[in-house]
Amino acid sequence: MQTTKKHFKVIINYNYCKKCGICSWICPVDAIIEQEFGKPVVPDSEKCTGCLQCERMCPDFAISIKQIDQ
């Protein structure tokens, strides 16, 4: 029996994001980091484990996590 790693995509809606930094602070695997002026980015989507912490904690509802097929 072979197990495959699930892959996730972090979608950040910058129209809603107020750059509070909660998402990068709460991410247990540092998949989300802050760029200049606090803008959250996901430089390596392979790091995301799909824990949904960022999605649940975002006060602006600016983040969603989607599982992708590979």
Which residue range is the domain that position 41 belongs to?
Answer: 7-17+29-68
Domain-located, residue 53: yes
pLDDT at 49 over 90: yes
Domain-located, residue 38: yes
* Confidence (pTM): 0.86
Long-range (24+ apart) CB contacts under 8 A made by 38-44 are 39/14, 40/12, 41/12, 42/10, 42/12
Domain-located, residue 23: no
Range of weakest confidence among 30-34, 61-65, 66-70: 66-70
Cα–Cα distance between 30 and 56 in angstroms, integer?
16
pLDDT at 17: 97
Number of separate domains in the chain: 1
Domain-located, residue 22: no
Domain-located, residue 57: yes
